Amino acid sequence: MPKLPIGDPELYYQAAPLLLVPDVTATAEYYRSVLGFVSDSAGNSPEYSVVWRDHAAVHFARGENAPSGVRVFFWVKDVDRVHADVTAKGARVTVPIGTRPYHIRDFCVEDPNGVTLVFAQDWD
């Protein structure tokens, strides 16, 4: 894993995917209610929304089709806790949690648009 984000970045402080989705409102609600993200209700619209959790953010803009072939990777500090939280809220797990031979513990869920979300932690 790369070094964790620092509190006083020199220039860049975050990268965030912008996903074009058919239903911005429903997608943002899924990220809030199932994945524990938050958003500024004043900044949400059927055309555009941003959700975030700690240093991770995802932007949604209205598009005609759901994205395909997209995976969004989240480094987390406690992957087992994230797994317990999101599965208790009904997330659809597509790759079970496990410790991989390459020293990463991870799992995948699929969002309502078919986007794969990977949650991972370094594992020694």
pLDDT, tens digit (0-9, with 9 covering 90-100), for 46-95: 999 999 999 899 999 999 999 999 999 999 999 999 999 999 999 999 99
Which strands form 116-122's sheet, in the order they lie side by side? 71-75, 116-122, 104-110, 92-99
Position 7 confidence tier, pLDDT thresholds 50, 70, 90: low
- 43 SS3 class: helix
18-21: strand order across its sheet: 18-21, 56-62, 48-53
Distance of CA 74 to the CA centre of its chain: 6
Asked if residue 55 lies in contact with residue 14, where contact means CB atoms within 8 angstroms, the answer is yes
Q: Global pTM?
A: 0.89
Domains of the chain and CATH, by start: 18-122 (3.10.180.10)
Interval 23-44: pLDDT, tens: 999 999 999 999 999 998 777 8
